[in-house]
Amino acid sequence: MKIEKSQRLKRLPPYLFKELDRQKEAVRAGGMDIIDFGVGDPDMPTPPHIIAALKEAVEDPANHRYPSYSGMEAFNRAVAVWYKQRFNVVLDPDTEVVTLIGSKEGIAHIPLAFIDSGDVALVASPGYPVYHVATQFAGGDLYFMDLLKENAFLPDLGAIPAEVVKKAKMMFINYPNNPTAAVASREFFDEVVGFAQAHNIIVCHDAAYSEMAYDGYKPASFLEARGAKSVGIEFHSLSKTYNMTGWRLGFAVGCREIIQGLGQIKSNIDSGAFQAVQMAGITALEGDQSCVEAMRHTYQERRDILVDGLRSIGLSVEKPKATFYLWIEVPDGFTSAAFAGRLLTEAGVVTTPGNGFGAAGEGYVRMALTVGRERIREALERIKSIGF
C-alpha cells in the first residue's frame, strides 16, 4: 500500500523547530557540547505552589472525567479577574473567555472558524509560523506584512494593497513580539482597531509574552484599545509567565462572537483541558505573583549579560523591553542560515535563523534567554573565538 500525504502537508516547509532539532542532533553526534539558545522553552521549573495545587487536584476523582469544552467556570472567572487587575479590562467569564489547551492550540484552530477558501489572513513576517500554517490548513490565502527595523517592527497597515484588504478576513499580530522582541503602544492598537472596523477584519492578538517585561515596562493589552472587543480577541498562555510550557494551558478572551466561534470548533475537535491542570492554573493566576517578578529578574540579568557581550564582540542588537528573545543582525557577508550554521558547527551555539520566521526575517538570528549566566558567558567566549 502506498501512503500518500495530503497536498496541505506537502505544501508546508519543515516545521522550524523540528528542523533545528535535527541539526542540533547531527552536531551533538559529532561530540560537540551544545549551548542552546534556539527554542523559547523556559529552563526554570514551574513554581512550587502551582505544582502543589496540581498534586492536590489530581487526587480528586471529580477531575478525572471529561472537562467542559469551554473551560471550568472557576478558571474562566480567574482569567477575568486577572485581566481586570492587570489591564483594567472587564470580561464576562461566561461569554468572553474560553480555555485553551495552550494558546498554540487556539491560534491553530481560529482560522477554521472564520476563514473560507479565497479569504485572506494578514500575517506578520517574521512571525510565529503557526499563524500562516493554520490559515493554509483552513484553505485561506496569505498576505505577509513585513516587520522592518525602520518601522520599529510594526506592520505598515497603510501599505497593504487595497485589493488585499477587500479580501482580508483576519489579522494576526503579536506584541511583545516573537521573534523581534518589539513592543507596541496603545496608539498602535488603536490604529489596528480602526483599520479592522473600517474593513470588517477579525484581529487575533497573541499576547503570550505580556508578562515578560523589564526595567519597569508594562506591555498593554490589545483589549485596552477603544472598541477592541468589537473586532478581536487576545490569546494568552500560562506557559511563559509561570514556566508551564509542558502543562498546555492557555485562554482566549475578547469579542463574544469570535470566542463562540472558536469554542464551536473546539467542541468538535477536543474535549477540553484536564481539570487538574486548570485548578493549578487558578492557583497561578490568583496566587502570589512574586514568582513572576523573580522570573523577570532572572531574564533581565541574562539579557544584560548577553546583549553587552554580543555588542562587545561587534554584533548589532537592541536591548529588548520585553520577551526573552534577542533579535541580532548578522554580520556583513552572511545570510541568516549561514551565520546560524557557523555558530552551531564551529562554536556549538544554537541560534534560530531569522528567515525561518518568514522572508522579512532574513538578516537576523534569534537567541532565547533560556540559558543560565555561566553558560551565556561561555557561549560568548566561543563566539568571540571563531571570529566572523
pLDDT, tens digit, 9 for 90 and up, residues 223-233? 999 999 999 99
16 band by pLDDT with thresholds 50, 70 and 90: low
- For residue 24, what pLDDT is reported? 79
CA distance 374 to 352: 21
- In the predicted structure, residue 68 carries a pLDDT above the cut 90: no
Is there a contact between 196 and 232 (Cβ–Cβ < 8 Å)? yes
- For residue 9, what pLDDT is reported? 86
Q: Does domain 7-45+291-386 have CATH number 3.40.1360.10?
A: no
Is there a contact between 239 and 105 (Cβ–Cβ < 8 Å)? no
Residues of the chain with CATH 3.40.640.10: 48-286
The mean per-residue pLDDT over the stretch 141-159 comes to 97
Is there a contact between 304 and 82 (Cβ–Cβ < 8 Å)? no
- In the predicted structure, residue 6 carries a pLDDT above the cut 80: yes
Residue 33 CA: distances (Å) to CA of 25, 29, 36, 37, 379: 11, 10, 10, 13, 11
Average pLDDT, the chain: 95
Is there a contact between 259 and 94 (Cβ–Cβ < 8 Å)? no
Report pLDDT digits (tens) over 80-129.
999 999 999 999 999 999 999 999 999 999 999 999 999 999 999 999 99
Which amino acid, residue 67?
Answer: P
Residue 46 CA: distances (Å) to CA of 54, 148, 241, 243: 11, 35, 10, 5
The mean per-residue pLDDT over the stretch 144-154 comes to 98
- For residue 28, what pLDDT is reported? 85
- In the predicted structure, residue 10 carries a pLDDT above the cut 90: no
- For residue 26, what pLDDT is reported? 83
Question: 19-23, 62-66, 275-279: lowest mean pLDDT where?
Answer: 19-23
69 band by pLDDT with thresholds 50, 70 and 90: confident
Residue 79, beta-bridge partner list: none
Region of residue 288 (left: phi > 0; alpha: psi -120 to 50; beta: else):
beta
CA distance 93 to 51: 25
Residues 6+ positions from 32 with CB-CB distance below 8 Å: 348
CA distance 63 to 55: 12
CATH number of 48-286: 3.40.640.10
The mean per-residue pLDDT over the stretch 245-250 comes to 97
Residue 327, beta-bridge partner list: 366
The whole model's pTM is what? Answer: 0.95
Report pLDDT digits (tens) over 188-225.
999 999 999 999 999 999 999 999 999 999 999 999 99
Which amino acid, residue 214?
Answer: Y
Report pLDDT digits (tens) over 330-370.
999 999 989 998 999 899 999 999 999 999 999 999 999 99
SS3 track for the chain: CCCCCCHHHHCCCCCHHHHHHHHHHHHHHCCCCCEECCCCCCCCCCCHHHHHHHHHHHCCHHHHCCCCCCCCHHHHHHHHHHHHHHHCCCCCCCCCEEEECCHHHHHHHHHHHHCCCCCEEEEEECCCCHHHHHHHHCCCEEEEEECCHHHCCCCCHHHCCHHHHHHEEEEEECCCCCCCCCCCCHHHHHHHHHHHHHHCCEEEEECCCCCCECCCCCCCCHHHCCCHHHCEEEEEEHHHHCCCHHHCCEEEEECHHHHHHHHHHHHHHCCCCCHHHHHHHHHHHHCCCHHHHHHHHHHHHHHHHHHHHHHHHCCEECCCCECCEEEEECCCCCCHHHHHHHHHHHHCEECEEHHHHCHHHCCEEEEECCCCHHHHHHHHHHHHHHCC
Which grid coordinates belong to 120? 485572506
Which grid coordinates belong to 11? 505544501
- In the predicted structure, residue 387 carries a pLDDT above the cut 90: no
Q: Whose grid coordinates read 533560556? A: 370
374 band by pLDDT with thresholds 50, 70 and 90: very high
- In the predicted structure, residue 17 carries a pLDDT above the cut 70: no
- In the predicted structure, residue 378 carries a pLDDT above the cut 90: yes
Which grid coordinates belong to 55? 498534586
Which amino acid, residue 241?
Answer: T
Residues of the chain with CATH 3.90.1150.10: 7-45+291-386
Q: Are strands 120-125 and 168-173 parallel, antiparallel or unpaired?
A: parallel
- For residue 255, what pLDDT is reported? 98
21 band by pLDDT with thresholds 50, 70 and 90: confident
